[in-house]
Amino acid sequence: MSPSTTAVPSARLLPLARAEQHRAKQLRTYRWAAHGVTFAIGLVGLWLSAEASYVAALLAACSESVAWVLRQRSRARHQHAEKGKRIAELRLFYDPSAATGAETDFRRAVSSWACEHADEQRFDDSDYWDSSPGMGRDSLRRSVREAAWWSWNLYEEGVKRAGWFAAATVGFALLLLVLFLFVGLAEAAEEVARITLLVITGLIGADALSLRADWTAAASDSRAAHLSLTPPANSEADLFSLYVDYRALTAGTEPIPDWIYRRHRERLNAAWRAENGAS
């Protein structure tokens, strides 16, 4: 859905931002579904006639074009959601009057889907942060330290899953290559169409490898931010420098899927509280 331009939504800021992030993840799911269509076309296309192979190649190119559009839309929604979460965090943990103009801009550009669903209970989580709300430097330090810890651990879990998916997609592309070489091709037309399918399928594997690399770097940087904030930052300027760098990182990195969070939530909650109680 397009951004809401008819009125500024009245939902509370954090649930609205979380609904916007959920929308970004939905668009990403649709993107991977489009990749799945490409996979299916690539496999079927190996045994099609010359004319049908060209049609399959065209359909695969179309499905990958849809995936590319969905990737850009998902990224835009995710970055916008991170803006809303950033404002909510500053309001809760630093200054209740912070970023008034930025909030107005955020609300005007939020998606229609987020406006319609922000009031749902799943987005209205009063325990979203374990840190207690407050004002000033130390309160913000604690909230960012907590967020960086969660990012670090969830990105590491995401790296494992992305690695498995990348291995599967690259392996599938190699399988297509082997079949392509040994099935036997009677005409150059078939060869061109099947090579096109192979290349498109290989691009999906490259996308998965890129995602794994991004999450690996994000996990490392989030861990560094967490460790930097475990002792108090030297000054307010140091704190805000770390805060800006960390929030730029999360805005620019594809979010972790909800199913990974749900699967590891209880274990990570226990680990965080054990570490927080000991620190």
pLDDT at residue 171, rounded to an integer: 79
pLDDT at residue 169, rounded to an integer: 77
To the nearest 10°, report the CA torsion of 161, 162, 165, 169.
Answer: -170
Residue with tokens 């291995």: 167
Distances (CA, A) of 9 to 47, 105, 106, 109, 169: 52, 11, 10, 10, 41
The closest alpha carbon to 185, from 41, 39, 48, belongs to 48
30 pLDDT above the threshold of 70: yes
183 pLDDT above the threshold of 90: no
Cβ 142 vs Cβ 131: under 8 Å: yes
pLDDT at residue 279, rounded to an integer: 45
Give the pLDDT mean for 26-31.
Answer: 93
H helix and E strand count, the chain:
8, 0
Give the pLDDT mean for 248-271.
Answer: 91
The closest alpha carbon to 98, from 133, 125, 149, belongs to 133
Give the pLDDT mean for 72-99.
Answer: 91
The closest alpha carbon to 92, from 13, 197, 38, belongs to 13
Give the pLDDT mean for 234-243.
Answer: 85
- As a 3-state breakdown, the chain gives helix, strand, coil percent values, each rounded to 5, of 80, 0, 20
Higher pLDDT, 10 or 80: 80
Higher pLDDT, 140 or 183: 140
* Cβ-Cβ contacts under 8 Å for 115 (sequence gap 6 or more): 4, 9, 11, 16, 19
pLDDT at residue 2, rounded to an integer: 52
pLDDT at residue 155, rounded to an integer: 95
